């Protein structure tokens, strides 16, 4: 899908994640996020099992380490055939470039397409106080996010993870072809939970988001398939 709705499979076990996916019709192939909780519990096999059901995988492990370690880890991830994966922009230019090299090398060795490399800018749980006081980064959240987007583009990343509130500024700064994948998406009727910088699917579409990451409004819905379809309708229209 060109502009996917990515369902966050934030489950503690493979059994629960797969049981959730089994509610979807066999012909409805979606994109799902496998994050740290599920991957650490189930390992690479959960990626294979999800792909076997026809779904695309966004492997969201948010790598952040010395360049050599990140490159080696990305070489492994590159072999898994996932569609997207993540690294922290805060790791800097050398680390980001190493991540891309590792992904391409791993994918080439496995004969698969290299995943899109997305850099984490500022988490959607980060607000102005956290940025300035905890991280000791002066200025606005938006300025920090745009800076990280410029750094990521210069380091050969394919896009960033950001709030939909910042995606328009990112596209203005680095180009509309640079992906802005946006978590912190909540339908108007949903709670914000622990997210600070949120937006509805319709507003995110208007802002220019290239893809949405949505967890609890779908995974905890009484009818997850209908919740997914409703959000897709709002997003597409």
pLDDT digits (tens, 9 = 90+) for 62-111: 999 999 999 999 999 999 999 999 999 999 999 999 999 999 999 999 99
- 60 carries an active-site annotation: yes
Residues whose CB falls within 8 Å of the CB of residue 167, separated by 6 or more in sequence, listed in order: 180, 182, 204, 207, 208, 209, 210
Whether residue 194 has pLDDT greater than 50: no
Encode 107-137: b = buried (16+ Cβ within 10 Å), e = exposed: beeeeeebbbbbbbbbbbebeeeebeeeeeb
Count of C-beta atoms within a 10 Å radius of residue 99 = 31
116 given a catalytic annotation: no
- pLDDT at position 188: 66
Tokens representing 40?
A: 């650490």
63 annotated to bind ligand: yes
Q: Count CB-CB contacts under 10 A for residue 98.
A: 26
Catalytic: 206? Answer: no
- Specify the pLDDT at position 1: 55
What's the pLDDT score for residue 2? 77
- Residue 33 assigned to a binding site: yes
Mean per-residue pLDDT, 165-179:
95
Band of residue 189 on the pLDDT scale cut at 50, 70, 90: low
The CA-based angle 222-228-230, given to 5 degrees, is 95
162 pLDDT higher than 50:
yes
Beta bridge partners of 153: none
pLDDT on residue 191: 53
Neighbours of 80 (CB within 10 A): 18
pTM for the full predicted model: 0.93
| C-alpha distance across the termini of the chain, in Å | 15
**Which residue in the list 2, 27, 62, 177 is annotated as catalytic?**
62
Contact 151, 96 (CB under 8 A): yes
> What is the token pair recorded at 234?
């709002």
């Amino acid at each position: 899908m060109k502009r996917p709705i990515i369902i966050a499979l934030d489950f503690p076990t493979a059994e629960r994640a797969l049981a959730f996916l089994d509610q979807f019709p066999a012909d409805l192939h979606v994109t799902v996020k496998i994050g740290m909780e599920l991957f650490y519990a189930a390992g690479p096999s959960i990626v294979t099992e999800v792909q076997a059901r026809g779904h695309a995988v966004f492997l969201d492990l948010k790598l952040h380490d010395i360049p050599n370690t990140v490159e080696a880890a990305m070489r492994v991830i590159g072999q898994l055939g996932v569609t997207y994966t993540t690294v922290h922009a805060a790791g800097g230019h050398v680390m980001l470039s190493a991540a891309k090299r590792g992904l391409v090398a791993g994918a080439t060795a496995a004969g698969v397409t290299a995943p899109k490399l997305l850099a984490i800018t500022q988490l959607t749980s980060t607000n102005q106080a956290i940025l300035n006081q905890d991280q000791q980064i002066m200025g606005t959240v938006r300025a920090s996010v745009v800076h990280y987007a410029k750094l990521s583009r210069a380091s050969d990343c394919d896009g960033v993870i950001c709030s939909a509130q910042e995606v328009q500024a990112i596209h203005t700064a680095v180009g509309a072809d640079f992906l802005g994948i946006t978590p912190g998406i909540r339908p108007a009727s949903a709670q914000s939970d622990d997210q600070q910088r949120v937006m509805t699917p319709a507003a995110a579409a208007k802002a220019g988001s290239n893809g949405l990451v949505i967890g609890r409004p779908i995974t905890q819905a009484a009818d997850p398939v209908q919740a997914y379809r409703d959000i897709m309708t709002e997003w597409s229209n």
